[in-house]
Amino acid sequence: MNNMDIFVGGQWQQGRGPEMQSRFPGDNQVIATLNSASLEDVEDAVIAADMAWRMPSWRNLPAHQRAAILYKVSRLIDENCEALTQLQTLDNGKPWAEARGLVMSAAATARYFAAVCEVSGGELPPRRQPELMTISTYQPIGVIAAITPWNSPIASDMQKIAPAIAAGNAVILKPAEATPLISLKLAELFEQAGLPSGLLSVLPGKGSIVGDALVRHPLVKKISFTGGTNTGRQLAHIAADKLITTSLELGGKSPTIVLSDADLDIAAHGVCYGIFSSMGQACIAGSRLFVAKDIYSSFMEKLTQLTRNLIIGDPRQERVHLGPLISPSHRDSVRNYVEQAVQQGGKIRIGGTAPADPVLQDGNYFLPTIIEGLNNQSTVCQEEIFGPVLVVMPFDDEDDLIQQANDSVYGLAAGIWTKDYTRAFKLADALDVGTVWVNTYKVFSISTPFGGFKESGIGREKGLESLKAYMQQKSLFLALNPQPNRWCE
């Protein structure tokens, strides 16, 4: 690819910040060079966004006409599915099948919020006084700062842009520094769909410069962030100082639980997918596994064999299960966690190193890894690794199991494998997490809210309520039989 422009206030232009490169994680070769956004670009984008969302032509646009734009974006994504899949794979090394699923998810998200936009309305609270009627309405917030991660950019981008646009706002998207390409392409599709100029900007660059300037700008009225907990905490402080709302989807250290009555084949396949898909680079990755003692040996044999059969390689090829990690430094971080686990007494059952295949030496590959022999207090059980590393622990007491599963600063997701749904419901109720999967894992519905407990975040994405998260509520009081107020006499 040649040098690329960025999208500032509805205009394609060269960024005024430092040069940045996008590299394919499979071999670390440069696939695109562009200039990042500057502080001046941030200022221009915010000013344009604030003007655009206030324009009567947008503020007064009927909901079904805003929906029409999102429907068209959805169709454009479908029409360009293969090209977008290829770009997503180049951008972050996601295997082809997973990348295609993310592209299709983005199209579905645009369709869903188009439909929600058309049918959502205000509320008519119950009348408490015969002579008074009250109406509750929803209005846009204004300029939204949307900051997205590198692990699933097109899906994460759309989960913020679609409801914000459906609600009548303007959006400034700051994609992860490592993955700007798919976000810029998405801006092009919104432009083709007829979104008025200024309502969407895409500003690639460093979070410490571009992101910080964006969220601190006085005209930005909401922060929507998906990423690490430490950054989320900093953004929450900024939002608190500005008295604006936030949606924060942060880290996770999700427990998966295999009970003694589980179908071992179904559970093994689900656990394997839950941790090793996306190379473990997912906030919901099932990275802590608790297995009932009486089935531990037989279950681990199945899981180990499945892991051994996983294909690691160039993500552009079919039938590859695991591609590369996002960068050399991230691979080093994953390796360091594994070495630390061994130092603390852990035993590597499988994996634990980069693959020996010379074809993969230039990429950021790491073998799917299973570690045994540690307890829940170990570093690799308490800290988010964000890689293909699973720590397995046997249990024989369910009360102790619940205590261990909840013994984490995170509370994003969990998985339960059992044939007894009554037991599953009780266990799910006891887990301090925002999402629980039973006999499945890492499946989603755009109509079902998603978010975390504890340090895994604030607020929810997806579902009807996520549209209202990008709106502010206004109450109207209407006198049905106006009379002079006698207090004044």
Give the catalytic positions in this structure: 249
Q: Characterize the bridge pairing of strands 457-458 and 245-249.
A: antiparallel
CB–CB of 110/451 below 8 Å? Answer: no
End-to-end CA distance of the chain: 77
Report the 10 Å Cβ neighbour count for 488.
Answer: 5
Residues in the chain: 489
**Distant-in-sequence, close-in-space partners of 450: CB < 8 Å, separation ≥ 6:** 249, 434, 435, 444, 460, 461, 462, 463
Q: Please report, as a single letter, which amino acid is at residue 125.
A: P
Is 223 strand, coil or helix? strand
* 156 phi, psi to nearest 5 deg: -65, -40
C-alpha span between 413 and 5 (Å, rounded):
38
Helix, strand and coil in the chain, % to nearest 5: 40, 20, 35
Task: Rounding to the nearest 10 degrees, give the CA dihedral for residues 401, 402, 405, 408.
Answer: -130
Is 24 strand, coil or helix? strand
C-alpha span between 123 and 135 (Å, rounded):
6
C-alpha span between 237 and 222 (Å, rounded):
13
Radius of gyration over every alpha carbon of the chain, rounded to an integer in angstroms: 24
C-alpha span between 276 and 289 (Å, rounded):
13
C-alpha span between 183 and 157 (Å, rounded):
7
